[in-house]
Amino acid sequence: MDYTILQQYWWFLVSLLGALLVFLLFVQGANSLVFSLGSNEEERRLIVNSTGRKWEFTFTTLVTFGGAFFASFPLFYSTSFGGAYWLWMLILFSFVLQAVSYEFQNKLGNLLGTRTFQWFLVINGILGPLLLGGAVATFFNGSNFIVAKNNLVDGFASPVISSWANASHGLDALLDPWNLVLGFAVFFLARILGILYVMNNVDDENIRSRGSVRLIGAAVPFVVLFVAFLVRTLVKDGYAYDPTSGVIMMEPYKYLHNFIDMWYLSVVLLAGVALVLYGIIRTVVSKTYICGIWPVGIGSVLTVLALLLSAGWNNTAYYPSNADLQSSLTIANSCSSYFTLSTMAVVSILIPFVLAYIVYAWYSIDKKKLDKQEIATDESY
């Protein structure tokens, strides 16, 4: 592989991890509805035990997503994770709340009470998807940072390449209404996935019947918000760069051009949207259909993958700077060395084996649907 292909290959892998992370946010989506889907303590324990079987997948994917970004595009990692640290700290704090809640809510000596820890899960279920969606929206709407690579050769004792342009350190992303639009779209998508997962995984008619009703309440705002964000993104000016000079420039309808030039991404996007709508509609109209998590989950992965690829491929700046246009990050100016990317590309051959293990572990865990009899054991959350 030449250097350019390696850069595109690693942007694909990072985008795929991001898409899988969005699917795995069904854990957060279900937890945000613990008190809505469960009318009593027994039903709430059913929901918590259902998501408790899978929360490690979500957390591990989040960490792997960050690690892959660090290894393949270190300048993004230092700029975003180092500059917008308040935003990322809030995200990580919400996931720490989740881990603590699963571990201690039913332990002996729990002074806070089970309900308190269940509320911690609700907080994570709301903040996690909302903030992650807002962070991803900055790939299209930009952030306030400055990159000065010359600091490396100007004789500074401790050179700082990138810095945030204001004192908010990432919280300013939440002041952009379009970042919030995608944030809430991801939040409602996580709820859709969470409802569908619980309906498939928990053998309880009361929870399933409530899930069908709650599904409509999550699907309507999701569709409105996602369509609004997608249409606005396609018609707005985008951030392009000259592959020869590296100069960043604004290009009208840049993301629309990306989907036209890379028609296969348009096919993936449309297929993903169709699968999401199919899974939702069939679950709503059919009282016996409980497998909606799979078409909606696969559709979510395809849709997010197409969006993230359009943000980095086709000479597009995937992390635009609103403070200094020429500081915007591209897969060409922010990536690791050829040696690092090529070495990691060899290691990435193991990814299909890891995915196969995850599928096997998932199948083994879910051989039997969760019911009230199982949560009576001492091993339940």
**Which pLDDT belongs to residue 103?**
79
Higher pLDDT, 233 or 169: 233
Residue 66, pLDDT above cutoff 90: no
**Which pLDDT belongs to residue 158?**
59
Residue 110, pLDDT above cutoff 80: no
In this prediction, residue 38 has a pLDDT band, given cuts at 50, 70 and 90, of confident
The mean pLDDT value for 236-241 works out to: 95
| Region of poorest pLDDT, from 78-82, 180-184, 303-307, 328-332 | 78-82
Residue 326, pLDDT above cutoff 70: yes
**Which pLDDT belongs to residue 260?**
96
DSSP state of 79: I
Helix extents (H) in the chain: 3-24, 26-31, 34-37, 41-52, 55-72, 74-76, 82-83, 85-104, 114-141, 177-201, 205-235, 254-261, 263-285, 293-312, 338-347, 351-365
- pLDDT (tens digit per residue) in 257-283: 999 999 999 999 999 999 999 999 999
Residue 48, pLDDT above cutoff 80: yes
Residue 189, pLDDT above cutoff 80: yes
- Cβ atoms of residues 21 and 122 within 8 Å: no
Mean pLDDT comparison of 205-209, 244-248, 302-306, 337-341, highest-scoring range: 302-306
